[in-house]
Structure 1
């Protein structure tokens, strides 16, 4: 079983909502404060209080610091994270991953580069504290995997550093590419760039509550009050169930299968589409011959997709085939634990993949591209390369 957190984003998500929910789950706010202050922010303080939103109890997280007007670049924030003496390596890596999501989106929106783009709202001390504090809280709570509901963004307009923009703000919208969006007619910014980046960097799947045993529930409050619903983020913390965790020695994750029956695209179009799907992050793409209505020969295009890439991959299918409809369904995947190895042979190094078998033992699969390249260079067969690599690997594991 794995420690799982499920983010129920009925009213969206922001950095302070996330931090409040994690504190409500038991993350020590004083420990988070100490960790964030060790980034070179000795005057910063963090507090939490119990508030009510539409009659429901929640934790409001507060970050207090002297006023500032700094516009930071990504390398400035990395330097702050790196010098934090009370933030462990895992939390530093997660914080950088979250900031990377924001940086990529900001660079695209402003036609800049990761090195040159500067942060406005997300580069402020309170947002930095929310992101690094969230990463620290994940470690304090032992969270290993994350799932989330579809995300509402709200509607209307807001004013940011670059002027008035539609909701979702440009950076938020770009971060949420591939993430399921829940409809909402609430005229407010429900999901901020910080909240979107936290979800994009941590969530392995989006959808209904996964199979889990709930140990605790945390509620994080947003700053505004909404009419008709509580402006809170609910986080369920617990253990994945035995069904979700799979047999011993087998990893489990969730994916989305996209399928479309196509009878009027050429083989060249389908091959081109498959290449584009792989390049955009598809886990697998395959074509199955089938017969459609009126006895027409056709192809069922099937794509196994990470939940976060579904939107992008569907767009590619619609743009690069004649498909007019796509079926989608979520699946659990059971995967053998694997690792990459490089095996030294008399022909040269060969890359391989080693999988752990559930009943014990291991199995080696040689990378075909390496086998072909070495076979060509040494005027021999791929079978000889595979045999040499397998023999060398077996000797080293005796």
Structure 2
């Protein structure tokens, strides 16, 4: 299983996410070409290499084109400023010059289509125009965002994922500000750079096409920002709302480390948040943030494979006792079965399958069977009760005998290929290569998968004695 794992030890923002995914291998030209399908003007993407605490990675900046500097200066003095989820007057707020405005609230917008970017290292302020399709930023609501995305030539999958991320932010903002969903104006995420962050995330994640996205618990930072309304807590109210039900950490540094956009990217895509993992790490990417502080201001992402428990065992794993949970169903939309099977696997099922059966009165039906460890039984029953039409389930213990398995890497004419070896009482009795790797090779080389199997089988027999 190909897994993307977010290691959010220093939080996550939209630009750090893009940097990490490009560092992982997404092609910059591909990202820029796909983003051009949005038909948005007035920006360019700058990709560079940078270092935080000795860790090198990719830094992404969305550079907004300068337009009418004098007008920007005038609006800077009068505009409202959105900071960490709350609106406040810029002239009355105190800002810590150790951090950038982009990191504190993803983007900070002024009225009349302007953004205020703060350069920490130089102490300079640059004001640039951010008007998009002549839509006033304070008038851009969820409908406007939908029109921009849905009228583009992006794939349906990218459009769907982009709106899923935007919806996370919209729901949180509506809850925090006590307004109906479609009356929320996107002070933060309505600007060009935040649209790029969110749609860019959808483009990169769709391109990776992983089987599963996981994450560590998420560092949010801490502290307060003083403004006209008083002290505003960090993390921002919208960030906290988005991350409800998700494991988080607080206080590693006294400022915001996770922005609403970064939180929404995780909430919309991650199926499991887990710190204790057994992984085979295949590839690593680092996205560089704007600060240089006590902890490395980077986002780490990894392409990994989960290691099965019996693979890392040093002894033969003989018989185990596990649970089977079953139910019979004859009145449910069959399209839902794939969703349910995926869900139980994500919750830790060892196996899950559907068997066609004939029930009373000759009704064609299916039997859903789930194999899991005993401590997962309650959760599996809950999924069946909540997600299917069944009114009852049955469960029973089963004995299972497993072979010890080990993975090795073998060099072939197609490059390095993973071979799975199986052992019985310490003796290797069979070897095979993984289907997913064969599929990837067949697609990349452009040959039938049966030809890949045959060629690998002939080559691998020289490396394995089975």
**TM-score tier after normalising by the smaller chain length:** 0.5 to 0.7
2:273 to 206, 216, 226: 206
CA contact (8 A) 2:226 2:232 kept: yes
Compare 129-138 and 203-212 and name the one that shifted more. Answer: 203-212
Name the larger-Rg structure.
2
- SS where residue 115 of structure 1 aligns? helix
Q: 1:73 aligns with which of 132, 141, 144?
A: 141
Correspondence for 2:190 among 97, 116, 123: 123
CA distance in 1, matches of 2:41, 2:230: 33
Whether 1:334 aligns to 2:350 is yes
In structure 1, what is the equivalent of residue 15 of structure 2? 16
Counterpart contact for 2:349–2:370, Cα < 8 Å: no
Cα distance in 2, alignment partners of residues 141 and 161 from structure 1: 44
Deviation at 1:146, TM superposition (A): 1.1
Residue 249 of structure 1 corresponds to none
Answer yes or no: is 1:175 the counterpart of 2:191.
Answer: no
Cα distance change on mapping 1:93 and 1:331 into 2, 3 Å: closer
Unmatched segments (≥5 aa) in structure 2? 66-128, 131-135, 312-339, 372-384, 392-466
RMSD: 3.6
1:238 counterpart = 2:304: yes
Distance change >3 Å, CA 41–CA 7, structure 1 → 2: same
Residue 161 of structure 1, CA deviation = 11
| CA apart distance, 1:159 | 7.1
CA contact (8 A) 1:53 1:231 kept: yes
Give the aligned partner of residue 32 of structure 2: 33
TM-score by length of 1: 0.61
Pairing 1:308-323 to 2, within 5 Å after superposition:
none
* Aligned 1:357-376 pairs, distance under 5 A: 367=389
Structure 1 position 84, deviation (Å)? 2.1
**2:81 matched to 1:82?**
no
1:109 partner SS: helix
Equivalenced residue count is: 275
1:281-360 correspondence runs (5 A): 332-334=348-350, 336-337=352-353, 355=368
Which residue is equivalent to 1:191?
Answer: 258
Q: Deviations over 1:35-73 (max 9, x none)?
A: 122112144321211001112101101112332261321
TM-score by length of 2: 0.53
The answer to whether the 8 A contact 1:211-1:244 is kept is: no
Seen in structure 2, the aligned counterparts of structure 1 residues 357 and 126 have a Cα distance that, compared at 3 Å, is same
Question: How much has 1:351 moved relative to structure 2?
Answer: 11
Work out the CA distance in 2 between the residues paired with 1:212 and 1:45.
37
Deviation, structure 1 residue 162: 8.6
| Counterparts in 2 of 1:334 and 1:89: CA distance versus 1, 3 Å | farther
Distance in 1 (alpha carbons) for counterparts of 2:267 and 2:310: 22
Q: Which residue of 1 aligns with 2:56?
A: 57
Q: Deviations over 1:168-189 (max 9, x none)?
A: 1110010111111113241111
Tell me, yes or no, if the aligned pair for 2:5 and 2:303 is still in contact at 8 Å.
Answer: yes
Q: Please point out which of 98, 116, 134 is paired with 2:165.
A: 98
Question: Given that residues 91 and 139 in structure 1 are in contact (C-alpha distance below 8 angstroms), is that contact kept between their aligned partners in structure 2?
Answer: yes
Q: Deviations over 1:259-313 (max 9, x none)?
A: xxxxxxxxxxxxxxxxxxxxxxxx9xxxxxxxxxxxxxxxxxxxxx99xxxxxxx
Structure 2 CA distance, aligned partners of 1:16 and 1:351? 52
